[in-house]
Structure 1
Amino acid sequence: MSFARPLPMLLLTTLVLTSPIISASDTWQDAPRHPVILTVTGELGCCPSGQALFDLERLQALPQVEVRTQTPWTDQQDNYRGPRLSVLIDSLQGRGEWLEATALNDYATRFNLMAARQYPVILATHKNGQPMSVRDKGPIWILYPLSDSPELRKEEHQQSMVWQLKTLHLGR
């Protein structure tokens, strides 16, 4: 009995398992191919400049999570998809205890990362399978799984559910 895989499948598996989120010639601080929709700053082990830039493609290259939830600003439960906030921070080798999130309209809030590590808090980029527009709280919305975790239905967490997110700053 042979356990050898056909060469095309082996190459595909290798590519999928070893492909970095960005190419080897790029770094997180290099401008992505498409318009930047998120800038992350702070103590980032990945980036000597302390800054990482994301377009939608780079965010979608991170593992995606789907959350079905209703929020105080929506009328029904919807499906949201995007990377976990904790995975983004970990992929950047981020060090810190809190995040300051700023929206396109300059609304800013600071919150502890504890809940983002304990729950599947996501950077939602899609709602019900469609990319989120600025008109619909996009292109990025920090989303807590409120329907699955009633203990998160507190003002402190709702204040950190920043929509139209443009920057994150990681601090100690």
Structure 2
Amino acid sequence: MGLGLLAVFSAQVQALERPRDRVVLTISGQIGVSNQGGAAVFDMAMLEALPQHRFATRTPWEPGVVRFSGPLLRDVLALVQARGQRLHATALNDYRITLPLQDARDFDVIIATRMNEQPMPVRTRGPLFVIYPFDSDPQLQHARFYERSIWQLRSIEVIE
């Protein structure tokens, strides 16, 4: 999806609803749409109400092929009108990783809410997992992309 399509999708966004349940994801920084103090916050229902994408892939962390589902990272970023170049992602245990926003444009990266059709508890890398479709492209089968796959995702800061 190119920048033009992101802009069209973003222009259609009127407002981001407020979460009704526990916040599971906060997006801040260079965004144009917020729903709580300059940040965009999401509960699980909000993420699961977005168009869902599914793929099966092998990972370095699980035996065999694993099925993941959740919204595309690029759709979530378009919804909040992300304007930066990089994403600082932080996990529940304060692990941090920086990934280029371009990854969301180039690959079908998802914010997985489910693994093998089941919600992911914290003890099994949940509740959110930024995951790349490793088996879809040989270049994704590299340590640099494995390192960008952050589980127990808590927040994303969009930076320049």
TM range (shorter): 0.7 to 0.9
Alignment RMSD: 1.9
Query: Which of 1 and 2 has higher RCO (CA within 8 Å, sep 6+)?
Result: 2
Residue 5 of structure 2 corresponds to residue 39 of structure 1: no
Aligned residues: 148
Q: Is the 8 A contact 2:126 2:153 kept in 1?
A: yes
Query: Deviation above 6 Å: which 4+ runs of structure 1?
Result: none
Equivalence map 1:15-34=2 (5 Å): 27-28=16-17, 30=18, 32-34=19-21
Equivalent position of 1:126 in the other structure: 114
State the one-letter code of the partner of 1:44: I
Equivalence map 1:93-108=2 (5 Å): 93-108=81-96
Correspondent of 1:140 among 118, 128, 140: 128
Stretch of structure 1 that moved more, 130-139 or 149-158: 149-158
SS of the residue corresponding to residue 80 of structure 1 reads strand
SS of the residue corresponding to residue 81 of structure 2 reads coil
| Deviation sequence 1:35-64 (CA, Å, 0-9, x none) | 111111011111284301111000011110
Equivalent position of 2:44 in the other structure: 56
* Greater Rg over alpha carbons, structure: 1
SS of the residue corresponding to residue 23 of structure 2 reads coil
Q: Is the 8 A contact 1:43 1:50 kept in 2?
A: no
Residue 56 of structure 2 corresponds to residue 68 of structure 1: yes
Cα distance between partner residues in 1 of 2:16 and 2:111:
21
TM-score by length of 2: 0.86
5+ long unaligned stretches in structure 1: 1-19
Residue 154 of structure 2 corresponds to residue 169 of structure 1: no
5+ long unaligned stretches in structure 2: 1-11
Equivalent position of 2:141 in the other structure: 153
Q: Percent identity?
A: 38
Cα distance between partner residues in 1 of 2:61 and 2:136:
17
